[in-house]
Structures are given as structure tokens and as C-alpha cells.
Amino acid sequence: MSKKVSALDMPDVPMGQLPEHLNRQRTRVTCNADAPIHTDAVHYSGAYSLMGVDNSMGLEKFSKNFKVEIVRLSEDEIEFDMIGIDASLANAFRRILIAEIPTMAIEKVLMVNNTSLIADEVLSHRLGLIPLDADPRLFEYLSENDVPNERNTIVYKLEVSCKKDSPRNTVKTNQLKWLPNGSELEMATLDKSAKVKSYTSFSCSQDSLPEISKKPLGVKHDDIIIAKLGPGQAIELEAHAVKGIGKVHAKWSPVASAWYRMLPEVVLLTEVKGQDAEKLVNKCPVNVFDIEDLGHGDKKAIVANPRACTLCRECIRGVNEELVELGRVKHHFIFTIESTGALSPEELFIEAVKILEEKCDRLLSELS
């Protein structure tokens, strides 16, 4: 960015273009040493109409400018850039990822025996937070009037004990056993002549279903500690998992974290050489700056990794404020999704897009 000049001394710009300072206010957040400025987005379509600049957002314009670029992808995490969108839309994706994509989680625990130090309620809560390795798209929601069956319920069994003369036993998630035929516990009844019923009504075994037989249902991580048993203690229970969303309870949230930040922009306003360059490089805790050797003992500071900038603003405090300019690109978001394991991170993003599309269709239907 050039030095500040009076409005009267600014050069004329052709019709259909914005002056440099207005274009920066429109597209950047400027981070000063005390506080950021120009944080609001300009939404009014006629904001720059006198200068011949169209600020409206139509479908054709959005489709032309919008891009998604994947930066990093692993089994449980994805980082990608969303370019050409407003913060409100980026936040809509974040909220959908956290609260509206369904997963399977343990909802009901039938406690047969628990002599451990953990109370039944606390143990049930811990079980509910265990990530399950089950694709929620293969299951239906269980309503109050529905009977638990092979299409809406997954049943797990935990039966562990610690002998009296044995050392303490650590109970982990790998000891949760999937029951493909449903509940093995019988419902209590006062009518002895009545047919004995279990807590589920499976018409077939879940491992006989084609979509489930390819990948047996289980837990995502085998080494999560559920409880620790002392000598003579035991736990026997049955856990029923159903489909739900994070809006109802956090245990159904498919992400450990889903967050975004605007792309940092770091600009050196003047050349920083010699000792000043070294001081600037040492000031940054995340190594945004580096030293470039110019030869003959000369060196200068360069911006090597602006993406890593956290805007701690250490580099613009004190004497460096006139040397460095920090900002954020308003319509460029660095998005990170960390999955709990039920769905891969890239599948979570696709599901979030589908849900947002359904919301838009529902809104258009209501308006018409």
C-alpha cells in the first residue's frame, strides 16, 4: 500500500474502478497496532454506483469468483481455502458442520451391573462421547413411536471384571462388542405366560445387510479409556446407539473442530535491511519473515510465509509500525475440519453443502 495522501492529491481513476484506498477498505481488514479497522463487509449493491462499480452479488458472479482449493488432507483432517464468499456463508458451513450433520452415538445404556467407582450416569455419559465407526447415512432416525430395529439402532455390549487378587484393570473401547443380532437382554414382564421380548426388534442380523457387511460396525478408536476397575469390581451393560445431530447433543457432532480464518496479508512497506531485518525476523513467533542474502554482507527481510501469520501484531509494535502492514483478505477463508471419525473430512464438507442446498430449496419453496 502506498503512503497516505490527501484526497485532493489522489490521481483520477477511470469509471468502473475504485480508488486504491476504497478498494482496500472493500476487500481487506487492516490490522493496526491497537485494533483492526474496516472489519465490516460492504453488502449494499449500490454502494459504489456513482463510480460505475457494481457491488451486487448474483449467481453468475458468485459462480465465476468462487473457488475451493485443498491445501492439506489427511485421514481425519482437511484444510482448504474458500475464495470468493462472504463471512456469513463461511459461518453457515461451520455451524452446519458442528450441529446439523448426523452421526451415530450411544443414547441408551442398560446397566446390568456396575460395581466400579464411576457412577452409572457418569459412565453412560462417557460411553455417549465415544466416536463410533458407523456411517450414519446407512441408518434412519429413531423417533419416540418407532421400535428399535436393525435400520435405526446399533447395539454394543460391555462385560468386564477384575479378579480379587489381580492388579487394576483398565477398560478400553476395544472391549465394546457389537451385537449384530440386537439386544440380548430380556425385558421384565409381570405376565409369566407372555412371550419374552428383548429391548430391540431386529428382523435380520445387521451383518447380513449388504451395505454393513462390507465394513463391520465398531468404534473409531480402540484405546479410549472408559473406566478403571479395582480388584473385585465389574461392569456389565448394553449400549444402544441411534442417529442424531449435534444441535440436540454434542455427542452427535461429527467434528472435533471446524473453524476458519481470513487469509493473512503481510506487506513490507519499505526495505528492511541489516540489523533491523534480523530484529524483525526474531520478533515473529511463527516465522513469517526470513532473511535474504544480497551478497557482500548485505541482507534484507522478506515475507516468507504470510499464511502462518496469526496477527499477534508483534511485528508492528514499537518502531516497526511504519515498516510492516498487516491485513486480512475479506473474501478468502482458510477452513479447517477435523473429523471425529464417522465420516472423512472431505465427506463432511460435501454433506454440509447438501444440507445448505436443502435449506435454500426449503426457503425458496416457502417464499413461492
Helix (H) or strand (E) holding 169, with range, is strand 169-172
**Whose grid coordinates read 490490522?**
31
Strands 132-133 and 154-161, how do they pair?
unpaired
Query: DSSP string covering 334-368, please?
Result: EEEEEE-SSS-HHHHHHHHHHHHHHHHHHHHHHH-
What type of residue sits at position 266?
Answer: V
264 three-class SS: strand
Which residues neighbour 367 within 8 Å (Cβ) at sequence distance 6 or greater? none
Local confidence band at 9 (pLDDT 50, 70, 90 cut-offs):
low
Q: What is the pLDDT of residues 51-106, one digit of tens each?
A: 888 888 888 888 899 999 999 999 999 999 999 999 999 999 999 999 999 999 99
Other CB atoms within 10 A of residue 69 CB: 10
Helix (H) or strand (E) holding 269, with range, is none
* Single pTM value for the model: 0.87
* pLDDT at residue 1 is higher than 50: no
Other CB atoms within 10 A of residue 278 CB: 15
**C-alpha distance across the termini of the chain, in Å:** 47
* pLDDT at residue 316 is higher than 60: yes
Instruction: Report, as an integer, the average pLDDT of 109-137.
Output: 96
Local confidence band at 14 (pLDDT 50, 70, 90 cut-offs):
confident
Q: 343-346: long-range contacts at Cβ-Cβ below 8 A with a sequence spacing of 24 or more?
A: 343/101, 343/103, 343/135, 343/136, 343/254, 344/75, 344/76, 345/73, 345/74, 345/76, 345/77, 345/78, 346/73, 346/78
